[in-house]
Structure formats: C-alpha cells, structure tokens
Amino acid sequence: MKVPKEASERAERLRDAITKYRTLQHEKDVSPISADALDSLKYELAELEGKYPELVTPDSPTQIVAGAPMPFLKKVRHTVPQWSFNDAFTEEDIRAFDERVRKVSGVAPTYDLELKIDGLKIVLAYEKGELTTAATRGDGVVGEDVTHNIRTIASVPVHLKRPIDLVAEGEVYLTRSGFVKLNELREKQGEPLFANPRNAAAGSIRQLDPAIAAARPLGVFLYDVAATSESFPQTQSEELAYLAALGLPVNSEHAHADSLKDVFTYWKKWQGRDREKVDYQIDGIVLKVESQSAQQTLGYTGKAPRFAIAYKFPPEQVETVVEDISLQVGRTGKLTPVAHLRSVAVAGTVVARATLHNEDFIAEKDIRIGDTVILQKAGDIIPEVVSVVSEMRPKGAKSWKFPTHSALCGGAGEIERVPGEAAHRCKVAGSFEQQSRKLAYFAGKSALDIAGMGRETVRTLMEHDLISDFDDIFDLTKDELLALEGFEETKAAKLITAIGVAKEVPLDRLLIGLGISHVGDETAFLLATHFHTLAALRAASEDALSSISGIGPIIGRAVAEWFKDSSNRALLMRLEKHLKIQKVVAPSRGALTGQTVVITGTLPTLSREEAEARVRRAGGKVAAAVSSKISFIVAGEHPGSKYEKAQTLGVSIISESDFLKKLEA
C-alpha cells in the first residue's frame, strides 16, 4: 500500500514530538504536556504505523524504551533487560490483545489484574538476601544507580527474609497527599512546582543527595520477579505472593480474571470512585497472563512484553487536529469562535468541537487551522483547547482572524468588537432567535426531517453551545445530550438515531434546509434534478442557473451568490463530511406527468412534505394555491379555504388513498 504523503509527514512530526517530550520526562523529569496528552500522541503514531507498516523506523518511540541515564549518576547495566508496557485505551484494544495471546499461546488465558502506579520504575538486586543495587530502568539496558536514595524508603527492606539472590521490578511513587504538600512548600520557597506525582517521585530519586528522598513521602510496590536463585513462581499471582513472603512491599489491590468480563469490571471499578480511595496516583490497570509458561511462549517485542498490557483510564487531556474554525451565536448576540476537530475521545466521551472563547484567546495561544492541539474537558459539556503542539504544525498554517461579517448575524451580517472587551457581537439584534429558526427549519419536516429536533430542542442545544450551524447537529453525541436537563437515556438515543437517519438526504431536501433565498420545494427540486450533485451545482455559473426553465435571473443570481460566499462554501465542506447526499432524478414519464396538484389539510399517513415529494417523483408539479389550472387537490382533515375554492371552481378533490392509487397507476 502506498503511504499518503500527509500520513508520512504526520508520522515524522509525531516521532520528533514524542521523542522530545519523552526525553524531557524521563531524563529531565519535566513535562511540557500532560501524560494523557503524550499517550494520545503515542497512540496516534501507533495507529498510523499499524495502518502503514512502512512508516515504522528503528528509532520510533513505538520500538524503543525511553530514557537515558543522567550523567551525574553512576551507571548500572541490568542483568535482565527492562521493558515498558504497550498501552490499550478501549475495550476493542483489550479484545485484540486477548485474541493475539490466544493465537500465539494456543490456550485460553486467565489474567492477573494489577493497578498501574504512575511513578518511576525501579529494579532492586539482592545478593544472598542483601540489597546491593537499586537502579532506574534507563533505556532498558543501562540505568542509574539510585541505591543511596532507595535505602531511605522505609518499606524497602535492606535484608530479605531468606538469603537468596533476587532481581525484582517495581514502581517508586509519591503519595498524592504528599504531592500536594510538597508543591505547597515549593511554592512558598519560590521553587517551580512539580507537574505531577510521577515527576516528583522521579525528581526525588534521581538526586545525589539522599536527604532529599528521605524528606519526601515515597513508597514502593514490587510487582515482578526478573530473576531468582530459587524455583521460579509458576503464575503471576504466585510471583506477588513470593515477593511478599520475602518481605518486599506488594500492592494488595490486585485480582484474578477468568474472562474479559472480569477485566472490564475491574477496570470500571478502579476508573470510578475506588480510584480516590488510595493515596497514590494510578492511570489504569495492567493485565498480565497468569501462566508463567504462557508468558515464556509469548515473549517480548523490542520494547514490551507480549503477555502484558496497560489498560489506561479515559484521558482528561488528548491531542487532536483543528480542521476548521467557525462562529457560534449566543442569546445576547455574542459571537464565540469554535474549533471543529478531528473526533476524539476525552474524559470518556467523543467530541468534535471545542470552544476558543474569543479573539484574544486564539491569538495568545496562536491557534491555527491544521494545528495539533491539546484538548481537555474539565466539567463543561464542550471542551476547550489547552495548548498547541507547535512541533506538529503543518507548513503554511495561517493565523486565524475574526471575520467582519457572518451569516449568523442576519441582515448585512455585520460584526463589531465590544468596546473595552475581548468579545465580539452581531450588530443586528435578535441574531440568536434568527439562527435558532434557521436550525429548526433545517432539521424540520420540509428539509432533513430529524424527529425530536424541534424549536425548543434547538434552542436548548444552542444555549449550551452544542450547536450553532447546520453541521454541528451531526457532531452531537449521546453523552452530550445526557448532560442536559430533560434528556434521559431513551430520548437521547432516539435523537441520535434520528440524526443518523438524516445523514442520508436527497439533494433537494438539503437545498431546502440551507435556506437559500428564493429556494423553496419546487425550486430545490428543479435544481436537484438538473444538476444531480452538489459539486455540479456549486460550480454552476449565474447564467447557467438562470437559463433553467422555472428558475430565471432573480433566483439564479441568489443561488450563485450563496455558493460564492466563502463561509457558505466552508459550511458545505463540513456538511459533506457527514452527509451522504442522494441524487434526485426527474422521471421522463410518470403517473402525474403534466398534472399540477395542491395538497391541503392533515393527511392520515403522509406529511405534506412527503406527499409533495411523491407528486414530483411521479412527474407532477406542486402548487400552493388553487386555480382552474389545478388538476386535482388531495385533501385531509381540516382542509380550509383551499377545499372550498376547489369546490367552487369544480376542481377534483380526492383523498390520500385515492392519491396513492393514482401514483401506482
């Protein structure tokens, strides 16, 4: 498979950015971006390399262990190579891992489930029961000698309970409560704050002065036997019991899993409230195949065991790409920039939009279309952009400027900046109401016919900054709806289903919904049947439009001007990412060819829009008023004055059932 240029360029930028951030984290204990955001970058790179194996390079972060030893600390060559875990973020990832284990090992695996401590990996070496060396992982081959600091941690025994040789692996951590107190002290002393407990733990251990480590609330959990002079435990659970029996600190919060159901139950338990019950930072769980013989069969890749994987909790911060920037209008006419994003899961929900607040916010963070950004969702329904990953910026990305006009503002669409504030607003009053009517019409029966999206629902969604323009409707998620008052599970699911159905839309119904001046049902049908595709209509000149029978110069000019408008063209591009637009073909000869029909009253089964569409598909024309030229009217309940006029003029009046029979003739 040929690798697209954009995929190759993005993979290269991802490798460079990840390598930079990992180096800073593992060698300098500095985190310019959060661990969640770094995980997100690594996950995207892994997906790209999985799709295009040609992109894998020997120095890719997916292939090597991060971290070189600090020059001021003594080097230690590991007797057993050290690894890092591959990460999983979804149930699908775990199912794929389980399938690989089954395929390679040839058995149905059971798992030991452990908490993934967010700390610094440590390797302890004992000879005849005496602690000889404590080393960091380093690059997996050579680590740093930090024995002098590890000896200050009370829970780490200097003497084992038996005089054996042992290499054990585990994690050094700083308690969460201790992390808060440490940063409070550093703030008082004017020192830079630690970004997270992991960096604080690493910064404490990777020091020459053991007094620093001794003064901080550090702990250790051991979780693997790398080598022993005694008989090797036969399961992962037995390994933990073996370590504990030797007097080493082992986390008691682990469980056995006979099935993936057990895995997911354990993950959900610790992703929820139980996560706050422990005084150490955890960012997921680790699955390890129980059987030692199966572990040996599965072996290792260049950087990770094939018998274990880290199942991460939903990230609070992720990376994604800004695909476009548009405006949304608030109740007071205030305009807020919104980033349209490559869909991404953050804090357990999928999002495709983020607020950009105002012009000054965008300028301060230098956010551009095409940028890779860090996104977070901290309590609000719609997330916000934290920062730009400048290393990932594509060439030629231009700064975004607040427009002077917008279709959201009605009238001439003029925009003004509020004096003395960072906010912009529409000059025309009532813009929110006007836009809510446009959106309700777009979603209504005449256009896309989205069941459950009436005027009040549209207003609610606008008030919570979830929709502002037509394309926003198709980015809505059930999670966003459930966060709103009045939306329970069933109602939210029904609306999401209705939106999904509306994604397949005939071209004429889309044109009706767009609200183009002078384009109603009949004109939309003429345009759709003449051009067949949105691309052809978009490219049509004013003269070509005006020359169509039934269109004329006034409508032709209005349509041409609408499609020339840059904001309308951008809107259509966003819509086309969501919609499957169906061609509309006028019949060369149909049951109603040459006939003109009026629909009036409430029909038993068909909406008026559906009945009119059937007339057109059968070759007929629809009229709004009754005259002597009308072929017949279809009347339902409460037909009103049109029924009376048809009687006066002697125009044929038929029921819905007779109408349907005519269509079948």
Positions annotated as catalytic residues are 116
Backbone angles phi, psi at 534, to 5 degrees: -65, -35
518: three-class secondary structure by DSSP? coil
| β pairing state of 111-117 and 254-257 | antiparallel
For residue 660, give both structure tokens: 């349907």
439: three-class secondary structure by DSSP? helix
Cα distance between residue 384 and residue 386, in whole Å: 6
For 128-188, give the DSSP string.
TTEEEEEEE-TTSSEEEB-HHHHTT-TTS-SB-SS---EEEEEEEEE-HHHHHHHHHHHHH
Q: Are 174 and 122 in contact (CB under 8 A)?
A: no
For 574-637, give the DSSP string.
HHHTT-EEEP----SS-TTTT-EEEEESB-SS--HHHHHHHHHHTT-EE-SS--TT--EEEE-B
**Which of these, 134, 281, 112, lies nearest to 196 by C-alpha position?**
281
Which neighbouring-strand residues pair with 288? 112, 308
Which neighbouring-strand residues pair with 123? 135, 169
Q: Are 365 and 388 in contact (CB under 8 A)?
A: yes
Cα distance between residue 382 and residue 360, in whole Å: 19
